[in-house]
Amino acid sequence: GIQVEQSPPDLILQEGANSTLRCNFSDSVNNLQWFHQNPWGQLINLFYIPSGTKQNGRLSATTVATERYSLLYISSSQTTDSGVYFCAVASLLYTGRRALTFGSGTRLQVQP
Amino acid sequence: EAQVTQNPRYLITVTGKKLTVTCSQNMNHEYMSWYRQDPGLGLRQIYYSMNVEVTDKGDVPEGYKVSRKEKRNFPLILESPSPNQTSLYFCASSLDPDRGPNYGYTFGSGTRLTVV
């Protein structure tokens, strides 16, 4: 099946700093999403971005499908950004059931 | 508000006592799915449904049942829960990507289940 690797695994920032999270995937995808899992366990959908660039406030994401990677940018980080960030992909090449394959996540801690 | 609603959010139960976790979506999505999340194992798909009365197994279906009698609802049933089913469960839904624009999966808020 498709492989998803995220880096870095852990990240500690001071409030106000910027960061870039990376997601590499092993094959072509028709779905790529970034999620934020908050300390209460909720999975919040940040971006649906199988290709191209999107921005939402302090967050933006870019997926270069031909090179099989995606980047999530967090600018001016806040303590509420803390949690685990997951990249998840799906490819009809591997399964018709459209299951998402999740990376292992980047654990972000923003310190005041 | 477009959302996937799971209930309950937290549940502690005893081994062998049947339980149902409900999932409902208000977005008219065809596709619904259940995942479980465990430390070190990540999120894994349990069951999925392509539409009403169409369900199939995911990666870890043992010990679970599902049904899809209505488009909006997709309950997860544990007939005889065991401690190894202690986990964080998520329901998700999406449009069928073959039928039109797809904006990805929307996840419910999760159900934290403990089986003692």
Predicted confidence at residue A25, as pLDDT, reads 96
Low pLDDT (below 50) residues in chain B? none
Shortest alpha-carbon distance between residue B84 and chain A (Å): 19
Q: Which residues of B touch A33 (CB under 8 A)?
A: 104-105
d(CA B85, CA B63): 8
Compare CB distances from B107 to A43, A104, A105 and report the shortest one's residue. A43
Residue among A81, A74, A104, A95 nearest A31 (CA): A95
- Nearest Cα neighbor of A44 from A58, A33, A32 is A33
Instruction: Answer for the pair A53, A59: CB distance below 8 angstroms, yes or no.
Output: no
Tell me if chain B has a CB within 8 Å of the CB of A34: no
pLDDT of A92: 67
**pLDDT value at residue B1:** 82
pLDDT by residue (tens digit) across B55-79?
999 999 999 999 999 999 999 999 9
Sequence-distant (6+) residues with CB within 8 A of B111 are B6, B7, B8, B9, B10, B11, B21, B88, B89, B90
CA torsion, ordered A30, B52, B90, A34, to nearest 10 deg: 20
Determine, for residues A102 and B42 on separate chains, whether the beta-carbon distance falls below 8 Å. Answer: yes
Residue B55: the pLDDT is 93
User: How do the pLDDT tens digits run along chain A, 112 residues long?
Assistant: 889 999 999 999 999 999 999 999 999 888 899 999 998 899 999 999 999 999 999 999 999 999 999 999 999 999 999 999 999 998 766 555 678 899 999 999 999 9
**pLDDT for res B97:** 60
pLDDT of residue A100: 87
Q: Is the peptide bond before A50 cis (omega within 30 degrees of 0)?
A: no
